[in-house]
Amino acid sequence: MSKQEKAQRVLSIFYKLLRGQAVSRQQQANSSNRSTRTFDRDIEEIQCFLADEIPGIELEFDRAKGTYALPRDMEIWLSMEEILAIAKIMLASRSLNKEEIKLLNKLTRLCDPDDEKVVREAIGDEMHHYTPVSHDKALLRSLWDLNDAIRRSLLVELTYTKATENMPVQRIIEPVALLFSDYYFYLIANIVGTAYPVPTVYRLDRIQGYTVTDRHFRAQYGRFSEGEFRKRIQFMQKGDLMTLRIRVKLPALEATLDRLPTARVISQSGDVYMVEAEVYGGGIKMWLLSQGTNVEVVSPQDFRDAMRNEIAAMGDMY
């Protein structure tokens, strides 16, 4: 028996274990035309490897079935339930083009073969009818490059086309975060040479080109928090940061509290609730208009006036 044959046999067993399969001592010995003692030695080598590389992880032996398996509660595992949930979220986001959404095929292969079939059946129709958003750009490479620039605090030169303009603009930026919201990926960045109090938001698919330079910028600790920014922004439209008070009817209360992470109920009168939230004014107007008569802006007064003017202008269109 050559060393190569032995290595292939051990790797074959290990591959099955990594896929979540229970490997039968007798069946493996029969399929490899080797004795069960040879199988035991192969398992011992795998056990030694795990002890060195992943301390605390040991193969589990089922005496009744005569099988070995890796423990299912290992942190490296994704269960079929977890894979199904991730797949459903990715398909619903519509954020990747048809080529990149195929990474779900890789994801489902992490399941046990029987579970893989179940998951594929559960997402098969959505995969077949998958319709990405209209830009149809590949984004995974740029996501990785820009994340690396953020991690290493490297300046980025980019060419960007705004939704309202045809002419691209050139910018040198300090990238600080990548976020996903409502179908799109966004790069959050400070423009070099400006003193805006809030970073600029760039939609990733509108970046026409970029170069990650070798020039570093000084990242200010605590200057920007993705989590706090996300709590206060809607549809990635900035506007001014304000404390908003709205009257919310019961049918829209749950949607309001889910939509605005900073929201809290401060009073109630029957089925009408007074809700307060800290938000950026740009995107919140879009969402409030979608709620019709279920939500009324109380303050700030200038924002209430802006809502009234917007509603009047909408009425003039019909």
Range of the domain at 183: 140-224
Domain boundary at 204, 224, 244, which? 224
Cis status, amide bond into 300, omega within 30 of 0: yes
- Is residue 75 one of the residues assigned to a domain? no
Does 135 map to a domain? no
Q: Is residue 248 in a domain?
A: yes
65 lies in the same domain as 116: no
CATH code of 267's domain = 3.30.70
pTM, whole model, 2 decimals? 0.73
Separation of CA 20 from chain center: 25
Query: Structural domain tally of the chain?
Result: 4
Nearest alpha carbon to residue 88 among 42, 43, 123, 133: 123
Taking the C-alpha atoms of residue 82 and residue 92, their distance in angstroms, rounded to an integer, is 15
Rounded Cα gap, residues 171 and 180, in angstroms: 22
* Structural domain contains residue 30: yes
Provide the phi-psi class of 67: left if phi over 0, else alpha when psi is between -120 and 50, else beta: beta
Give the pair of three-digit tokens for residue 42. Answer: 């192969």
The dihedral sign for the CA sequence 51, 54, 57, 62: negative
Examine the domain organization and report whether 208 and 152 are in the same domain: yes
Element (H, E) at 209: strand 207-216
Is residue 209 domain-shared with residue 237, that is, in the same domain? no
- The enclosing domain of 203 has a CATH number of 2.30.30
For the chain, 318 residues long, give each residue's pLDDT as a single digit of tens: 567 777 888 888 888 887 778 888 888 777 777 777 888 888 888 888 888 887 778 888 888 888 888 887 665 667 788 899 999 999 999 999 999 999 999 888 877 777 888 999 999 999 999 999 999 899 999 999 999 999 999 999 999 998 888 889 999 999 999 999 888 999 999 999 887 767 888 999 999 999 999 999 987 765 667 767 776 666 667 777 889 999 999 999 999 999 888 999 999 999 999 999 998 877 888 899 999 999 999 999 999 999 999 999 999 999
Among the listed residues 177, 185, 179, 186, the one whose alpha carbon sits nearest the alpha carbon of residue 153: 177
Q: Is residue 205 part of a domain?
A: yes
